[in-house]
Amino acid sequence: MALPTYASPLERIWYFVHRIFCGAVLLFLVAPILAVMPLSFNSVPFFTYPMPGLSLRWYRDFFLTDRWQGALHNSIFIAVSVTLLSTVLGTLAALGLSRANFPYRTAVMSLLISPIVVPVVISAVGMYFFYADVHLVNTYTALILAHTTLATPFVVITVTATLMGFDHSLTRAASGLGARPTTVFFKVILPLILPGMISGSLFAFGTSFDEVVVVLFVAGPEQHTLPREMFAGIREQISPTITAAATVLILVSVALLTTVELLRRRSDRLRGIRQT
């Protein structure tokens, strides 16, 4: 938001001080990322500056070693499975919560988003004991279901936010014209809530792809994900390949956030909201 021409000297000072402070906070948060990414090109196996030279040896190790590639494939498989499952469940829950006559909406919504509020380590301990009782620990099924529990609230929140501006008279008009419920959903509801669904699915993918605490409790040796492999590498054998893996994760996260922002702007344009 631009500074108005009639602003007083005090308001002008606060305008620039506020932006300098926000920039300093942002730099403080981003500084670790800015420090890690150049180290992934270091030619020697040290995490220090200055770097004696540049090399792609750690990226070759990351993309050509079976250990790292196996972890990456596990992460992608689990994240894609979680994304599909959480998108379906979260969208159905959001559609149900959007109904005016839905009983105990606040209580149900609080229950659905509780995995975001509860510390992950507490959820992980509970999931471990639950899946141990049903003999699912150390399986892909347990890991996918556990990650789905953590990812579904993001889909519920984004789709519910999209449905806040949804005109339900459109569905009533379609039903009044003889359209079946499935036709109403796929022809009327789905195109309007699709940006929210895609945003929620991207958040779900990122939540599963970056998660490590639940993996430590639920996964076995065959379900090592990329964050789990990085965590093990830090504890057992420190290798600069971790910096290459971290850079790849950062780039994936940036791509996901950029896509979410583009979808948000597209959704605002469709709803007639001006960008400032």
Is residue 236 pLDDT above 70, yes or no?
Answer: no
| Main-chain phi, psi angles of 47, to 5 degrees | -100, 50
CATH topology of domain 67-270: MetI-like fold (1.10.3720)
pLDDT score recorded for residue 88: 92
The radius of gyration computed from the CA coordinates of the chain, to the nearest angstrom, equals: 23
Query: In the structure, what pLDDT confidence band is assigned to residue 2 with cuts at 50, 70 and 90?
Result: low
Query: In the structure, what pLDDT confidence band is assigned to residue 176 with cuts at 50, 70 and 90?
Result: confident
Fill in the DSSP letter of residue 81.
H
Q: Would you state the structure tokens that stand for residue 213, as one six-digit string? A: 């605490």
Is residue 74 pLDDT above 60, yes or no?
Answer: yes
Fill in the DSSP letter of residue 223.
G
pLDDT in tens, 88-134: 999 988 888 887 777 888 888 888 888 888 888 998 999 999 998 88
Alpha-carbon distance of 201 to 148, in angstroms, equals 11
- The neighbouring-strand residues paired with 42 are 54
| Main-chain phi, psi angles of 37, to 5 degrees | -60, -45
pLDDT in tens, 4-53: 677 777 878 888 888 899 999 988 888 888 888 888 888 877 777 787 88
User: Dihedral of the CA atoms 7, 10, 11, 13 (nearest 10)?
Assistant: 120
Asked whether the beta carbons of 90 and 155 are under 8 A apart, the reply is yes
| Main-chain phi, psi angles of 167, to 5 degrees | -90, 105
Alpha-carbon distance of 248 to 265, in angstroms, equals 26
Is residue 152 pLDDT above 80, yes or no?
Answer: yes
**pTM (2 d.p.):** 0.81
User: Dihedral of the CA atoms 74, 75, 77, 79 (nearest 10)?
Assistant: 160
Alpha-carbon distance of 56 to 180, in angstroms, equals 57
pLDDT score recorded for residue 160: 87
Per-domain residue ranges of the chain:
67-270
CA count, 13 A, side-chain hemisphere, 150: 27
Task: Give percent of the chain with pLDDT exceeding 70.
Answer: 93
